[in-house]
Amino acid sequence: MWDKVGIVRTPSELDSGIRELEGMVKEAEELFEVVKSKESTGVRDASMAGLEVARAARANEVSKGTHFINMSETVEQVVVQNA
């Protein structure tokens, strides 16, 4: 996630990170339904928090503070990243 939802990020990397986190949340919720424990609760809650942070970062179109949105990615960069 550091590469996709880190300090310097692009919209396409954030989209990719969000998709990965959505999968993690699904797996964590399934685990929690099978094994209700302190650990599975922590995994579920951490994955959900990470997903919401990534979604908030994607919705934010302003670079501010230490986080930077690289909006100058080219079509070629997006194609290569998503290949």
In sequence order, the 6+-apart residues with CB closer than 8 A to the CB of 50 are 1, 5, 21, 24
Looking at residue 79, its pLDDT comes to 45
pLDDT tens figures, 51-66: 999 998 888 877 666 6
Q: What is the pTM of this model?
A: 0.73
* Cα 53–chain centre separation: 7
